Structure 1
Amino acid sequence: MIGDGIGIGIVGLGGMGNLHARSVRELGATVVAGADLVSERRDQFADQFGARTYETHEELVVDEAVDAVIVATPNRFHEPIAVSALEAGCDVLIEKPLAHTLESAERIAEAAAQANSICMVGFHNRHAASMAMFDEQHARGRFGDLTHVEANYVRRRGVPGPGSWFTSPELAGGGALLDIGVHALDLALYALDFPEVVEVSGITRTTLGTSEEYADPEGFGDNWETEAETYEVDDSVSAFIRCAGGQTISLEAAWATNREESMDFRVRGTQSGAQFTIGDTDLQILEAGTAGCDHYADVNLSGDSTMTGYSEQDERFLEAIATAGVPETNTVEEALTVQRVIDAIYRSSESNRTTQLAESPTERAVQLD
């Protein structure tokens, strides 16, 4: 199997850490170590995977059995863990987003560029069946030139519990945009082959999550106590992104808003269009023709129902390690572009005007010279 002989260490033993551990084990890798500050999580992880456990990532990255590290912690801690792992010679997979701030993301990218190791970022929706089918049809030229993407990741009510790291600006760096909007944004840029972004306009809002009468019919956020908890992050965002080649992206993301939930992803092309639900396994292609008479031609493709993206993403990571090759997807460079657009959306909202992407450290250094 692709993961044979690869020792994996997981930092952050919550839901995502355990998901990755199960995934890489099914792909043949060995889960040799885990790290988490919470002793109960360490004990459960050790029992389930037969792995050594540590309280800190510093101990894990120097474990000689660890070949690769998967980072599944709150966003603020991505940088110190990833940098330590890269400096220790480990390959690294970082859960999305790359970091909690653009500056932190840039430091990770710099460390990855200097390391002789693989570094990838966890945008699993690229590998769901819906997107895999879109990629193949796009490669065949079916859509013509892609012109616009409508990307939605909207919950009607789905704010993570206040007091958790998700609603802490210090730990998360942002709210709905950095948590779920990042998935839709990455997928949109990926669909368009990461064109140069020239202008961003965005508005972030904090409206429903701070209400003392917040209704949570499905109990998404446990132990809701608005008065007792800090909530200083965005719970919705609307953004418009213009690219150098004329392509555009409209983004809607929300933890909570007074509209129906939606994870609709729609792509317009000059020959045909496509739409699907983010992370789903079906794809609809929208075309029109004149044969016989003017008509619409809608084609529905049904993909592998087990192909949700998580396993496929981890398989790409293990393949890159096994072949010592340069990753062809989920690269740090792509994740840094996503982070720069997110930063521009926040700055646009703060200034109430359109903005451009922040200069990279290299560009800033050139200007200073």
Structure 2
Amino acid sequence: MAAVDPDPARREAFTAATGRPAFGDVDALRAEDADLALVASPNHLHAALARRLLTRGLATFVEKPVCLSSAEADRLAAAERAGGVPLLAGSACRYRADVRALAGLAGELGHLRHIDLVWERACGVPRSQGWFTSRAEAGGGVLFDLGWHLLDVLETVAGPLAFVQAAASTSYDHVNDPRWTAAWRHDQPVPELDADVEDTVRGFLVTGSGLSVGLRASWATHAASHDVTEIRIEGSDDTAMLRSTFGFSPNREPRPRLSVVRRGRTSEITVPTEPIGAEYSRQLDDIRDHLADPSACGSAIAGVRRIVGTIEALYAASATPLLPAGPVMTAAAT
């Protein structure tokens, strides 16, 4: 085990606590130093660091968002091929017991017609010393944060999808108001709030086969009393819905609720109760299995390309100017 950190004090603390070496730059790492490299940095550094690690022959795990553009995804794929080691993509929500139960029902609903993906926080704007709400460092706002998780879960329940139509709107009514900060994150206070990312996104996507997907994600909303995640899958025969709370917020649903509706009758499906964060332990097990699988190279980056491509399409489709909320303007016909 070894660590890389540009801060000398943190390197010294790591070595003192573990007895392991710490370096100031990833180029000091050798393939024999570790079985897996973990990239834990602000979003805009993810792809560049991962490329350098992969080309040095280090299998690399990158937490979401793995990259911020399709061009970065292409460069990561090239680095993975050059290094001959796998890129592993982090997005733990797919490992939740309730998501797995929902995915198991998807094949029993008939032809899939529509899927709604919703994750709304009542009061949950992240600060993280400012970078989380900086477009230059985070790449975007809630769409890259919560939206990436939702799109990854979409693939878990419906398989790989290619969209041919996209419509979206974004807004940032709350992101520069300290009253909407997520107190449970224990972020350090930010002296001046100057966020230039969205706190809410609403999107609508359609595949070539006619499957439609609605996506709504928000760091803060007046409508919610607590943080809620909902996934609703409408099929030609039945509809399944999961209502839960993803993530670590303590302001959550009491328990996950999974139900199936057919011809007006609702049946609730029992979902095992599990500790908050159990999905991350399952993700670790999956990482171990992928490291032992010679076919792992190329599998994660394919999903990353689809997700970041969809995010790009939603941003491009959004006609909502990133301006503070103001008086409602109406246009009169002339």
**Please, what TM-score do these two structures have when normalized by structure 1?**
0.75
What is the aligned partner in structure 1 of residue 155 from structure 2? 189
CA distance in 2, matches of 1:265, 1:145: 17
Whichever residue aligns with residue 230 of structure 1, its letter is D
1:174–1:234 Cα contact (<8 Å) kept: yes
Q: Deviations over 1:273-319 (max 9, x none)?
A: 22222548845131336xxxxx6141222225147321212211211
CA distance in 2, matches of 1:90, 1:127: 25
What is the aligned partner in structure 1 of residue 285 from structure 2? 315
Q: CA RMSD in A?
A: 2.7
Whichever residue aligns with residue 185 of structure 1, its letter is L
Whichever residue aligns with residue 326 of structure 1, its letter is A
Give the counterpart of 2:296 among 326, 331, 346.
326
Give the counterpart of 1:120 among 83, 88, 112.
88
How many pairs does the alignment contain?
309
Runs of 4+ with >6 A deviation: none
**Can you give the 5+ residue segments of structure 1 that lack an aligned partner in the other structure?**
1-31, 290-294, 353-369
CA distance in 1, matches of 2:234, 2:21: 49
CA distance in 2, matches of 1:333, 1:120: 11
Give the counterpart of 1:241 among 181, 194, 205.
205
Matched, 1:230 2:207: no
CA distance in 2, matches of 1:256, 1:247: 29
After superposition, the Cα gap between the structure-2 partners of 1:57 and 1:126, relative to the gap in structure 1 and judged at 3 Å, is same
CA distance in 1, matches of 2:94, 2:298: 12
What is the aligned partner in structure 2 of residue 85 from structure 1? 53
How far off its partner does 1:135 sit?
A: 2.7
SS of corresponding position for 2:228? coil
CA distance in 2, matches of 1:131, 1:242: 22
Greater Cα offset, 115-124 or 129-138: 129-138
SS of corresponding position for 1:223? coil
2:102–2:258 Cα contact (<8 Å) kept: no
1:282–1:300 Cα contact (<8 Å) kept: no
Matched, 1:284 2:264: no
Whichever residue aligns with residue 77 of structure 1, its letter is L
What is the aligned partner in structure 2 of residue 10 from structure 1? none
SS of corresponding position for 2:270? strand
Q: How does 1:156-171 map to 2 (within 5 A)?
A: 156-161=122-127, 163-171=129-137
After superposition, the Cα gap between the structure-2 partners of 1:131 and 1:49, relative to the gap in structure 1 and judged at 3 Å, is farther
After superposition, the Cα gap between the structure-2 partners of 1:48 and 1:243, relative to the gap in structure 1 and judged at 3 Å, is farther
CA distance in 2, matches of 1:92, 1:189: 22
Give the counterpart of 1:66 among 27, 30, 34.
34
How far off its partner does 1:134 sit?
A: 2.3
What is the aligned partner in structure 2 of residue 204 from structure 1? 170
CA distance in 1, matches of 2:67, 2:237: 37
CA distance in 2, matches of 1:41, 1:149: 45
Taking only the aligned residue pairs, the percentage that are identical comes to 23
What is the aligned partner in structure 1 of residue 2 from structure 2? 33
1:125–1:278 Cα contact (<8 Å) kept: no
1:163–1:231 Cα contact (<8 Å) kept: no
CA distance in 2, matches of 1:347, 1:217: 28
How far off its partner does 1:117 sit?
A: 1.3
After superposition, the Cα gap between the structure-2 partners of 1:337 and 1:113, relative to the gap in structure 1 and judged at 3 Å, is farther
How far off its partner does 1:78 sit?
A: 1.2
Whichever residue aligns with residue 335 of structure 1, its letter is V
SS of corresponding position for 2:202? strand
Matched, 1:305 2:274: yes
After superposition, the Cα gap between the structure-2 partners of 1:279 and 1:229, relative to the gap in structure 1 and judged at 3 Å, is closer
CA distance in 2, matches of 1:130, 1:222: 33
Give the counterpart of 2:115 among 145, 149, 173.
149
CA distance in 2, matches of 1:35, 1:278: 33
CA distance in 2, matches of 1:51, 1:254: 41
Whichever residue aligns with residue 223 of structure 2, its letter is R
What is the aligned partner in structure 2 of residue 26 from structure 1? none
Matched, 1:257 2:225: no
After superposition, the Cα gap between the structure-2 partners of 1:348 and 1:323, relative to the gap in structure 1 and judged at 3 Å, is closer
What is the aligned partner in structure 2 of residue 109 from structure 1? 77
SS of corresponding position for 1:323? coil
**Please, what TM-score do these two structures have when normalized by structure 2?**
0.83
CA distance in 2, matches of 1:345, 1:34: 36
What is the aligned partner in structure 2 of residue 54 from structure 1? 23
CA distance in 2, matches of 1:351, 1:181: 17
1:202–1:240 Cα contact (<8 Å) kept: yes
2:167–2:204 Cα contact (<8 Å) kept: yes
1:34–1:54 Cα contact (<8 Å) kept: yes
Q: Deviations over 1:73-105 (max 9, x none)?
A: 111111221111111112121110121333223
Whichever residue aligns with residue 316 of structure 2, its letter is R
After superposition, the Cα gap between the structure-2 partners of 1:241 and 1:180, relative to the gap in structure 1 and judged at 3 Å, is same
